Structure 1
Amino acid sequence: MIQGSCLCGAIRWQFEGQPDGATACNCTACRRYGVLWAYDYEGEGIQVSGPSKAYVRGTALEFHFCPHCGCVAFWRGLRKDEQGRTRIAVSLRLAEPEAVASIPIDHFDGLDSFDDLPRDGRCVADYWF
Structure 2
Amino acid sequence: MAAENTPIRSSCHCGAITVSAPRLPEYINICQCTICRRYGAAWGYYHPDEVKIETKPGAITKQYIWGDRDLSFNFCDNCGCVCYWWPLRPPPGEGGEYQMGLNTNNMDPEVLKYVDRRIEYSVLKSRVRSKDTAHADDPATY
Q: TM bucket by the smaller chain?
A: 0.7 to 0.9
TM-score by length of 2: 0.71
* Deviation, structure 1 residue 16: 1.1
1:80 and 1:112 mapped to 2: Cα distance? 21
Query: Residue 65 of structure 1 corresponds to which residue in structure 2?
Result: 75
Q: Which residue of 2 aligns with 1:54?
A: 63
After superposition, what is the alpha-carbon deviation per residue over 1:65-118, rounded to whole angstroms, capped at 9, x for unaligned?
Answer: 0000000000001113689x963111000011111111101232222258xxxx
Percent identity over the alignment is 33
**Paired residue for 1:117?**
none
Stretches of 4+ moved more than 2 A in 1?
80-83
- Report the equivalent of 2:22: 16
Corresponding pairs, count = 112
CA contact (8 A) 2:26 2:45 kept: no
Q: TM-score, normalised by structure 1?
A: 0.78
- Render the CA deviation track for 1:21-51: whole Å, top value 9, x for unaligned: 0011111111011111011122x22211223
Alignment of 1:71-110 (within 5 A): 71-80=81-90, 87-109=99-121, 110=123
Partner amino acid, structure 2, of 1:9: G
**Aligned twin of 1:118:** none
Q: Partners in 1 of 2:105 and 2:52 — Cα distance?
A: 16
Quote the offset at 1:19 in angstroms: 1.2
The match for 1:111 is 124
Write 1 or 2 for the structure with the bigger share of strand.
1
Q: Which structure would you say has the larger Rg?
A: 2
Question: Aligned pair in 2 of structure 1 residues 90, 108: CA closer, same or farther (>3 Å)?
Answer: same
Gaps of 5+ in 1: 115-129
Q: Structure 2 stretches of 5 or more lacking a match?
A: 1-6, 128-142
Any conservation in 2 of the 1:26–1:111 contact (CA below 8 Å)? yes
Distance 1:53 1:86 in 2: 22
